[in-house]
Amino acid sequence: MNIRYPNGKRYTVPHINHKETSPIEYGKRGMTLEEDLNATNEYYRQSGIAVIHKKPTPIQIVQVDYPKRSSAVIKEAYFRQPSTTDYNGVYKGRYIDFEAKETNNKTSFPLKNVHEHQIEHMRAVIQQQGITFIIIRFGLTDELFLLEGIHLLSFWHRMANGGRKSISKEELKKVGHSISIGFQPRIDYIKIIDRFLLT
């Protein structure tokens, strides 16, 4: 299947096993950040803690083949519009909205991994007093950080004014919040929201 972003870049669909009846394997290692967050959010939902979902991305189907009368195969499709952020939902009556990114860079997070429309969306969420942030995973060291939206906007503003085009790991340690991989839930970002983001 050929799916492209609005800028024409090809999209590669990540492999995720969606078996509704199978239990969540919290002890599984080598999971992607998205898989870990999906397992975490399912744990939160099942435990009655929060309702957070990955946002579906609407696509425009361009070409469909019908090899059989009973089946159809999508051959080409495009994203209708740029996506905002990856996840949203509600926790303790507050709107939660966040992005999740992985990098193989050892010492910094490149801001090119975030798009301007996502920054504008986060700015709008902040203006409405929602809680917004980005979760960053350094893939080579398996380090995780939660960076509040207000700080991400500050780093973005620095780049836009000719400053560095990345956030150093040292900066993340200073203004972000480190997250340890756990068992249940895998990435307990609610603990950080409780301690630092609920005011």
Query: Under a CB-based contact definition with an 8 Å cutoff, are residues 125 and 95 in contact?
Result: yes
Confidence (pLDDT) at 34: 94
Residue 178: pLDDT above 50? yes
Task: Check residue 58 and give left, alpha or beta (phi > 0: left; psi -120 to 50: alpha).
Answer: beta
CA distance 109 to 167: 5
Query: Under a CB-based contact definition with an 8 Å cutoff, are residues 60 and 42 in contact?
Result: no
CA distance 129 to 120: 14
- 116-153 pLDDT tens trace: 999 999 999 999 999 999 999 999 999 999 999 999 99
CA distance 24 to 17: 11
Residue 155: pLDDT above 50? yes
Residue 31: pLDDT above 50? yes
Closest CA to 177 of 144, 153, 151, 155: 144
- Retrieve residue 56's tokens: 């579906």
Please report the domains of the chain, with CATH numbers, ordered by start residue: 2-197 (3.40.1350.10)
Query: Under a CB-based contact definition with an 8 Å cutoff, are residues 26 and 39 in contact?
Result: yes
Query: SS3 for 74-128, per residue?
Result: EEEEEECCCCCCCEEEEECCEEEEEEEEEECCCCEEEHHHCCHHHHHHHHHHHHC
Confidence (pLDDT) at 26: 38
Residue 49: pLDDT above 90? yes
Instruction: Return the SS3 of 16.
Output: coil
Instruction: Return the SS3 of 29.
Output: coil
Residue 79: pLDDT above 90? no
pTM for the whole structure: 0.76
Distances (CA, A) of 52 to 3, 42, 43, 66, 157: 26, 8, 10, 36, 28
Helix, strand, coil percentages in the chain from 3-state DSSP, rounded to 5: 30, 35, 35
Confidence (pLDDT) at 65: 80
